[in-house]
């Protein structure tokens, strides 16, 4: 019960931040980006082979990233360090590691100069991830390319994380939104995006891959959709 209340309060504060950014964008949008850059952003999913995967974007100026895990989670819970290997994702912009599914709760712990930084808890106890059923579509246009999809009809749905990578597996853009469509290049309308210096347009005649992660309140990806497209 305490865990549920903690999650709801944390999400209410996030929604308040989004609302303030819309009301006073000149003040709160830069502040929201500043705070987001200094957070470790993490979510987990189950691949087609039943293996748990945790992906994360490290906090700015952090190092010594470790996966820590536990069988139970509460506000005062002590996590134990995992020996899971970590790998680069999207040309080092993000990272991923394999999860021990026997442990239901996972956190990325990182070190800054004076203190540690912890990601939100990723709860993998919910189980599987559904692939290619949220109808991600790409409409290539001139001058803008539009991505659209359907959010899951799930009371625990929280946000969508859309990534676009090029042929070299480099991240072109990674965006967070609660909407069901996004026009490439429209970064000003987003609650947060990963890429610090995003491209204004996609290169003609190049092939890209888009991946949509539908993330619930427990930082678990319930639906994942991948497709390739050419501008």
Domain 2-123 indexed as CATH 1.10.287: no
Write out pLDDT tens, residues 88-111.
998 888 999 998 877 788 999 999
3-state SS track over 161-224: EEEEECCCCCEEEEEEECCCEEECCCHHHCCEECCCCCCCCCCCCCEEEEEEEEEECCCEEEEE
State the sign of the Cα–Cα–Cα–Cα dihedral 77, 83, 87, 93: positive
Give me the residue spans of the domains in the chain: 2-123, 130-230
Say if CB 123 and CB 133 are below 8 A apart. Answer: no
CA distance 88 to 226: 19
Write out pLDDT tens, residues 83-92.
888 999 988 8
**In CATH terms, are 2-123 and 130-230 the same topology?**
yes
Q: What is the CATH number of domain 130-230?
A: 2.60.40.10
pTM here is: 0.85
User: Residue 185: which region, alpha, beta or left (left: phi > 0; alpha: psi -120 to 50)?
Assistant: left
């Amino acid at each position: 019960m305490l865990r549920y209340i903690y999650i709801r309060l944390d999400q209410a504060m996030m929604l308040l931040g989004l609302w303030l950014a819309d009301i006073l964008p000149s003040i709160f949008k830069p502040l929201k980006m500043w705070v987001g850059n200094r957070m470790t952003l993490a979510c987990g999913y189950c691949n087609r082979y039943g293996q748990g995967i945790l992906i994360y974007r490290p906090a700015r100026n952090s190092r010594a990233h470790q996966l820590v895990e536990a069988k139970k989670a509460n506000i005062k819970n002590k996590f134990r360090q995992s020996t899971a290997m970590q790998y680069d994702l999207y040309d080092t912009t993000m990272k991923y590691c394999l999860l021990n599914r026997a442990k239901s709760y996972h956190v990325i712990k990182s070190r800054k100069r004076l203190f540690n930084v912890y990601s939100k808890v990723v709860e993998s106890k919910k189980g599987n991830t559904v692939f290619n059923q949220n109808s991600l579509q790409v409409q290539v246009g001139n001058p803008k390319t539009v991505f659209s999809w359907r959010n899951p009809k799930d009371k625990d749905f929280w946000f969508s994380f859309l990534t676009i990578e090029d042929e070299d597996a480099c991240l072109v853009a990674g965006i967070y939104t609660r909407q069901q469509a996004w026009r490439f290049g429209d970064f000003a309308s987003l609650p947060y995006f990963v890429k610090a210096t995003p491209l204004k347009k996609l290169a003609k005649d190049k092939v890209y891959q888009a991946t949509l992660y539908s993330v619930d309140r427990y930082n678990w990806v319930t639906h994942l959709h991948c497709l390739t497209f050419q501008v």
